[in-house]
Structure 1
Amino acid sequence: MVKHKNTDKIKLLINNVVPLNNGDVALFYALYKKLEGAGFQVKIATYYYKLAKELYPDLPFVEEIGQYKIYMKLPFLKPLLLSLLFLFSKHYREADVLVGTPGGYINSNYNIKNSLSVYKVAKYFGKKSLIYSQSVGPLNKKDALFFQKLMDTSISYIFVRDQFSFNILTNLNISKQKFKLTKDAAFLLDFKEQASKNLKKVGVSVREWNYDGRNKESYIKLISAFIKESVNRGYTVEFISTCQGLANYKDDAKLAQEIYDNLDITLQVKTTVLADYFKFEDFYKKIEEYDFVIGTRLHMCITSLTKNIPAFNISYEVKGKECYNYLELSEYSIDYNEGSEKAMQSFTNFITNTDGIRAHLKNIMPKINKESNADFNFFKQKITEF
């Protein structure tokens, strides 16, 4: 195994990026800045390329392969034609290493064959592939076998961002030399300690989740109860999400409006639905206005925490609870359909202890950031091994 010390000679392509969700932007942007700072030549293969370039003209976006409408309507076609698509992509052909973007798309709620088959093709063309800070699972039997074979033959290394994912790879008997436990990639963002502005304002992000037998009506009642409790304590409420305001993408503002429309008028006068799209830097600045955040979108929570703003997590997938476990904030992460009594007790404890949570964040967030940077340095070494 040879290590290439001159990182500026290595061409990286971060792939599978969707830059329209500010949670995803936080993930790939944090990784991109680290890779760029390490001296690599970096390009970012993205879906929605034209809009991405319009929103972020200074980032080195290139077109992701297979983003034509036919592949969205007939997703089974893409894996069959990947070799041809790869050959026709200058950016894939010229890359030395593919780096799978951070996130949570390796589970059976999504079409993992569609998003991961490119690594098999990359291996055939002599490219190295690694994946940074992913959640893995749950996987059905078919997907588990596909992923296991891909890890054995085509993917050189993967960082997983939670213990649940680590256990899945262990149970699949994947070589322990090929994966490592890390934190969510957004913790590569520097911790920015913010003094409480005490504006008596709360940010609330919502998300509809139609998997795992979850009940939308129970979730709506939960959010409504939290809004009522917040207003009764003297706060105003703003619905805001990492994912909103774009016609051709998921829009959490629609669910927020539905919840707002069913609130009592006494709560509506204290509540606002923000429906516009925020570019990441604007979103990241906006969250400084809140005394605390209620986040269903995990990265609504994480981006707030990186600014020392307490965040109450409503976990629709295991990744939320896993993250709050290593943050030592597990008591402030509840299930999407948590029982009303337990949920409200956890939430009232959270509001009462926001000052204590801020003090805790001052201690633990720099530690998490330091660990994340150490893991990145390890990942960087893995990139340079050929």
Structure 2
Amino acid sequence: MGKTSNRQVRRVIVSGYYGFNNSGDEAVLKSILNALHAEGEAQGVTFEPVVLSADPAWTTKMYGCEAVPRMSPSVLLREIRRCDGLISGGGSLLQDATGWKTIPYYTGVLTLAQMLGKPTFIYSQGVGPVNRGWLFAPIRRVMNKSKYVSVRDAESAALLGRIGVAQERIEVVPDPVMGLPLPEGADLSLAAAANDMPIIGVSLRHWRKDGADLERAAAALAALASRRAVRFRFLPFHTPDDAVTSQVVMDRLKAIGIGSSVAELAAPSDDPQQMLLEVSRCDMMFGMRLHALIYAANQRIPLIGLSYDPKIDQFLNRLGLTAVGTTEQLDPEQFASGADALLNDLDGWRTRHGEAIDRLKREAQRPAQQIAALLS
């Protein structure tokens, strides 16, 4: 640990799903780095973050901080020995829906830090689903040995409680991205290539192997276009996959026919704040990606969620909302009616949900505040 100009310097490792071209996870990292800097300034701590990344050179270029390979045991050992603490999060790191190897990796990194006597901090993680019972033990162990534990929803806290983590040790906070600001000097205008049509942000991902969920989404969007002229702006949050998925739906819309409405694909961006800017230019968001919905809430853009995972429902619940449908069921006319009504009452939506959004934005800073206090 060092001290410069009466400011304490703390070298912290940040572990998460970083360097994979996923805009949502990159937004989490950007939000954590911003919050640490702000809270460090407030509490007299200079944080020196070291990010564990799949693409260290890209991460360093994007965020201006040190980054090292996430899968190199020798590098992990060296960096953890040099650090003052390790932050794990945010995002859905502790789940086995995408495979069994995810949880052993992230708990393994935490365990190594704890074995070397370094304080560990869980930063607004989404925990679960965990379908393999043998994975409960490593999660319980690293959580109980962590200096600070925060999760992004009550359901994650309840799951940790069921597997043996003391509830009083767990703080429920929003996803870090609720605190992400727009880039400095952001231009909120968007070229009016489609006259004054309302802009509907669309964020979809490939989920069902048979593509039936995308077929239903296309039918729902076409139903809205049959009621009024709109500008569908597809936003690829994970490249290149989401761009491919978006093109599939756009081709389907062309085949169905959307009258005078327009469908276009936004240019992918590595910078999460640029994607936040894209969302801020929309009048409404129809989102399947969690962070598309969080971006929309962050910018007070009225939103409609399509659920493919409990984390979507959990976030919507915090705003007093429910999903319009799921990847298994989506009624086109019900979606169109709801979206049409929402477009006619955008300010009313902001009034009804503004207080909840403001609360989430404030609470998103809590983990950084706690970590700065514990390391100062």
TM-score, with structure 2 as normaliser: 0.82
2:358 paired with 1:366 = yes
Q: Greater shift after overlay, 362-371 or 96-105?
A: 362-371
Cα distance, 1:104 vs structure 2:
0.8
Q: How many residues align?
A: 348
Q: Secondary structure at the match of 1:8?
A: strand
Cα distance, 1:196 vs structure 2:
10
Letter in 2 for 1:13: I
What are the Cα deviations for residues 244-283 of structure 1, in whole angstroms up to 9, with x where unaligned? 24xxxxx211111112222244339721233533522322
Name the counterpart of 2:3: none
Letter in 1 for 2:53: T
Distance 1:257 1:196 in 2: 24
Q: Is contact 2:31-2:179 (8 Å) kept?
A: yes
Q: Is contact 2:88-2:121 (8 Å) kept?
A: yes
Cα distance, 1:376 vs structure 2:
4.0
Letter in 1 for 2:199: K
Cα distance, 1:348 vs structure 2:
4.5
What are the Cα deviations for residues 33-58 of structure 1, in whole angstroms up to 9, with x where unaligned? 1212213322122221123334x1x5
Letter in 2 for 1:307: Q
Distance 2:59 2:47 in 1: 20
TM-score, with structure 1 as normaliser: 0.81
CA distance change for structure 1 residues 205 and 147 in 2, over 3 Å: closer, same or farther? same
Aligned-pair RMSD on alpha carbons?
A: 2.8
Q: Is contact 2:221-2:336 (8 Å) kept?
A: no
* Residue of structure 2 aligned with 1:180, choices 171, 178, 188: 171
Name the counterpart of 1:40: 46
Name the counterpart of 1:27: 28
Letter in 1 for 2:81: R
Distance 1:181 1:307 in 2: 22
Distance 1:64 1:100 in 2: 15
Cα distance, 1:335 vs structure 2:
2.4
Letter in 2 for 1:331: T
2:111 paired with 1:115 = no
Q: Secondary structure at the match of 2:285?
A: strand
What are the Cα deviations for residues 342-381 of structure 1, in whole angstroms up to 9, with x where unaligned? 5555444444443321223433322222233345423433
CA distance change for structure 1 residues 378 and 13 in 2, over 3 Å: closer, same or farther? same
CA distance change for structure 1 residues 374 and 359 in 2, over 3 Å: closer, same or farther? same
Q: Secondary structure at the match of 2:164?
A: coil
Q: Greater shift after overlay, 36-45 or 157-166?
A: 36-45
Q: Greater shift after overlay, 289-298 or 352-361?
A: 352-361
Distance 1:65 1:26 in 2: 18
Q: Secondary structure at the match of 2:67?
A: strand
CA distance change for structure 1 residues 349 and 166 in 2, over 3 Å: closer, same or farther? farther
Q: Secondary structure at the match of 1:10?
A: strand
* Residue of structure 1 aligned with 2:59, choices 52, 55, 80: 52
Name the counterpart of 1:137: 128
Q: Is contact 1:331-1:346 (8 Å) kept?
A: no
Name the counterpart of 2:80: 92
Q: Secondary structure at the match of 2:171?
A: strand
Name the counterpart of 2:246: 256
Q: Is contact 1:226-1:347 (8 Å) kept?
A: no
Q: Is contact 2:57-2:67 (8 Å) kept?
A: no
2:10 paired with 1:10 = yes
Name the counterpart of 2:229: 234
CA distance change for structure 1 residues 189 and 65 in 2, over 3 Å: closer, same or farther? closer
Cα distance, 1:338 vs structure 2:
2.7
Name the counterpart of 2:138: 146
Q: Secondary structure at the match of 2:202?
A: strand
Distance 2:17 2:48 in 1: 13
Q: Is contact 1:237-1:272 (8 Å) kept?
A: yes
Q: Is contact 2:224-2:339 (8 Å) kept?
A: no
